[in-house]
Structure formats: C-alpha cells, structure tokens
Amino acid sequence: MIELASFAGRHALGLMVMTLLVAECVAYGALTFGRARVATFHAGVVTGVVVMIAAAAGFAMVTHALLNGAALNSFDLAFARDLSVAVPRDVKHVFAVLTHLGDPWWLAVCCTAGVIALLVRRNLLLACALAAASGGNGLLNMTLKQSIQRARPDYDTAFASVHSWSFPSGHTSGSLATYGAIAYVLVRSLPARWRLPVIFIAVALVGVIAWSRLMIGVHFASDVLAGALSSTAWLTACVLSAEWLRRRALNR
C-alpha cells in the first residue's frame, strides 16, 4: 500500500486528469440513463437510493479505517510526501488560486444568489432544494469535523492558512453539494441542450477544487475522499426529496 501511495503521489497530476475524465464519463452516463425511456421515475429513485447508501457506507468505511488502524494514515502520509515533491511549485500556486472557488464564503454567496433568483421566479421547491443541499451540507461537515477532530497535515503556509480540523474536507464537500445543487437547478430550468455542458462544468469544477486541496497540502487524500462521499450522500438525498415533491405536485 505504501508503494502504491508513493506511486500515486509521484504521478498526482496524471492521476488528477484520469479521475476527472472518469468523473465526466460517469456524469455523461448518468445523464444518458436519465434521458432513456427505460429510466422511469421509480428506476431513478432506486438508483438514487443505491447511490446514497453506497456513498454513506463508503464514508463510514473510510472513517472506520482512519480511527481503527494505522494503514490509512500511512497511505495518506506517503501520498502527501511524494506529491509535495513531485508537483512543481508554480503549479501549486495555480491550485492555491483555484481552491478559493470552494471557499465557504463564496459558496454561500452562490447559494444565496441562486435561492433569491429562484424565489423571484416563484420556484419555491428548487429554492428550498438548493438551500438544503448547500446549507445542510455545511452543517453536516462542521458536525463531522468536530466529531472526528483530525489534525491537518504539515503544509506550506505560502499556499494557504487554515485553522479548522481536516476530516472530512470542507472545500470538497461544500463545492460538491453547492455546485451539484446549482447544476440540478439549471438542468431542471434550462433547455435540454444546456444540460450536458452544465453537468460537465460542475463536475470539472468540483474535481479541480477537490484536487487543489491535495496539491497545496492542506488535506490528506482520505479527507478529500470522505468529503466527496458524505456530500454525495447528502446531495442525493436532497435531489431525491425535491424530485418526489415535484412529482407529487404534478400529479395533483
């Protein structure tokens, strides 16, 4: 495992590109499934529940491995050490700028602007879905951080200055929940031709923010993975709830 972590750290930039491509392919597959005639509402609900349960279970497994053994910590340290050496300093500076797209204050601005715009258009359901996804995830992440209280890795303060707990990654979690919810709102609001670009942009944005936390050294790999998993479970729950309420309103 240590050799694998070191290898991944030395090839972090290539691994980032590969994971982003895989994520885009998954997003494309999900959109294609959603457009298919066989994708009934009930099939979509079952798929969403499976995703939610799998993400929650994955988070539980990562947390258990962190709290009940040294293997995950050793992996994280080896990955972080080799990544720090392999990634050029100029590249780190670029990611130090990009990471601010996941800052809590900016996500709050995006969420608030979106909610206001939806309320102006009298779309209360989507406004509540966006607020619940972004704001609720923020509360969930703070609760998890305080419960686990993992210290951050030793990082170069030239790239960032953070004072909160490390696990799970708040930038990863928050960006996935907020940009994911915004993408959901746009998919429900815009013409069909805009759906694929919206989803691709959201996936790329979240992926870059998640990787930026590793590139500037303020999080361990398991922090980022856990943040993505917890947020996926929460966002899926919010989207499923919104879709159920939407269908109920249509059937009245």
| pLDDT score, position 111 | 96
Q: Which of 67-76, 127-136, 151-160 comes out lowest in average pLDDT?
A: 151-160
Q: What is the pTM of this model?
A: 0.93
Average pLDDT over residues 34-58: 82
pLDDT digits (tens, 9 = 90+) for 178-237: 999 999 999 999 888 899 999 999 999 999 999 999 999 999 999 999 999 999 999 999
Determine the Cα–Cα distance for residues 87 and 214; give it in Å rounded to an integer.
Answer: 11
Average pLDDT over residues 114-139: 95
Average pLDDT, the chain: 91
pLDDT digits (tens, 9 = 90+) for 68-82: 988 999 999 999 999
| pLDDT score, position 136 | 96
Q: How many residues does the chain have?
A: 252
Q: Given a cut of 90, is residue 97 above it in pLDDT? A: yes
Give SS3 for 188: helix
Q: Determine contact, residues 5/78, Cβ cutoff 8 Å.
A: yes
CA distances from 20 to 29, 92, 203 (A): 14, 18, 8
Q: Please report which confidence band the pLDDT of residue 2 belongs to, taking 50, 70 and 90 as the band edges.
A: confident
Percent helix, strand and coil across the chain, each rounded to 5?
Answer: 80, 0, 20
Q: Determine contact, residues 229/62, Cβ cutoff 8 Å.
A: yes
Task: Map out the domains of the chain as residue ranges.
Answer: 2-250
Give SS3 for 248: helix
Between residues 252 and 194, which one has the greater pLDDT?
194
| pLDDT score, position 157 | 63
CA distances from 152 to 80, 95, 165 (A): 11, 18, 6
CA distances from 107 to 24, 65, 117, 192 (A): 22, 30, 15, 26
Sequence-ordered list of residues with C-beta below 8 angstroms from that of 53, at least 6 positions apart, any chain: 233
Residue type, 194: W
| pLDDT score, position 37 | 54
Between residues 142 and 164, which one has the greater pLDDT?
142
Q: Determine contact, residues 84/90, Cβ cutoff 8 Å.
A: no
| pLDDT score, position 22 | 95
Q: Given a cut of 60, is residue 247 above it in pLDDT? A: yes
Determine the Cα–Cα distance for residues 95 and 169; give it in Å rounded to an integer.
Answer: 16
